[in-house]
Amino acid sequence: PATLHEQDGATAAVCTRSALTAVVARLAADGLEARVGHEIEFTLFGDACNGAWSAYGLGAVLRREDFLKDLLRNAERAQLHIEQVHAEYGPEQFEISIAPATPVQAADLVILARILISRTARAHGLAASFSPIPTVGGAGNGAHQHFSLNSGGRPVFSGGGQEYGMTDKGSSALGGILSHLTEFTAVFASSPLSGVRLRPDNWSGAYVCWGLENREAALRFCAESPSNPHGANAEVKIVDPSANPYLATAAILGLSHIGIGNASPLPPEIVVNPSTLTEAERDERGVTRVPTDLREIVQKFNSSSVAKEIFGESIIEAMVSVKGVERETFSQMDEATTVERLRYTWS
Ligand code: GLU
Ligand code: MG
């Protein structure tokens, strides 16, 4: 993790870490303070999967006991606080949850964690993939970001009079994110494989809506409860590991800030899996799919005045041109080849 400078020492206009630092400062000027906790999903490759996979099971963890113990030891030495390790849904897919931290520090820890996971895997003759789609037809890897906000030292997602104890500010923060989510899909999930992951019934939050503990909602609310020891928080589920974590957090916090400033309304909660609703019912509730077409995603980002407000021109220009080349390169390639080519791109 590093801040990018020009040769004369000035901060580079395309520095994503500085863009996040600036967003954090704008929040602080209005008395808002954020904490962010990252989930890191990855898939191991390298030796044959020995026997049936027990998703979320202890058997799966024990089979990779040596690797996981080493990873935990390395993390401790690197002062990376891992709060949870578990076997995920897909074969050889694991997840670690990193303890919440201040936004820039939390994004720095994502970089550190990926280096540690990749190096530890290599030491065990394995390779870790952080691809949104590591195998054709297999489970996707997400990079969900949880965040909480304090306003004047008090949490905005609990202790208030809105749904599940949200305060007016908490509710508006989520309203701000939801109302601009499609403009920022370029930042959250726009690799050539991101759209494959963002299909319904894949727990990737493929629908633009929010709901308590709703895994099919792009925005999942986690209320204050004994099972949330750090307090209430919101999880942006559509983020995948192809996203730059600094930019993704800058978008989440920047939109929350704008939502609070505009007192953005929060649409009604969706409590079910939206794919079980009819199209008419989804229309009626204003639930749409997160865009998956790269041309549409980039066009929405490029013409977003809110994106300009949060990131400035240089970052948008750089992203739009990189995404254009990616689309050109991979649009001719079939899915299986793309999956192979990009398997270790984010490792
Ligand atoms: N692997 C899923 C994804 O692509 C998430 C599974 C979960 O809910 O943790 O986001
Ligand atoms: Mg998970």
Provide the residue-wise pLDDT of the chain in tens; the chain has 347 residues. Answer: 899 999 999 999 999 999 999 999 999 999 999 999 999 999 999 986 556 788 999 999 999 999 999 999 999 999 999 999 999 999 999 999 999 999 999 999 999 999 999 999 999 999 999 999 999 999 999 999 999 999 999 999 999 999 999 999 999 999 999 999 999 999 999 999 999 999 999 999 999 999 999 999 999 999 999 988 899 999 999 999 999 999 999 999 999 999 999 999 999 999 999 999 999 999 999 999 999 999 999 999 999 999 999 999 999 999 999 999 999 999 999 999 999 999 999 99
Instruction: Output the pLDDT for position 86.
Output: 97
Residue of 93, 130, 141 best suited for mutating to test ligand 1, as the one with most atoms within 8 Å of CB:
141
Distance (Å, whole) CA 4 – CA 13: 9
- CA torsion sign for 166, 167, 171, 173 is negative
Instruction: Output the pLDDT for position 50.
Output: 59
Phi-psi region of 46 (alpha: psi -120 to 50; beta: other; left: phi over 0): left
Q: Which atom of ligand 1 is nearest to the CA of 143?
A: 10
Distance (Å, whole) CA 139 – CA 332: 24
Q: Rounded to 10 degrees, what is the CA torsion of 330, 334, 335, 340?
A: -80
CA of 97 to the centre of ligand 2 (A): 9
Q: How many residues does the chain have?
A: 347
Tokens of 319: 């992203």
Instruction: Output the pLDDT for position 240.
Output: 98
Burial class (CB within 10 angstroms; exposed 0-12, middle 13-18, buried 19+) of 141:
buried
* Residue pointed to by tokens 């079939």: 334
Residue 79 CB partners (closer than 8 Å, separation 6+): none
Residue 307 CB partners (closer than 8 Å, separation 6+): 183, 184, 187, 251, 301, 316
Distance (Å, whole) CA 26 – CA 154: 18
Residue of 131, 204, 207, 235 best suited for mutating to test ligand 1, as the one with most atoms within 8 Å of CB:
204
* Residue pointed to by tokens 């630092």: 21
Residue 198, helix vs strand vs coil: coil
Largest CA distance in the chain: 58
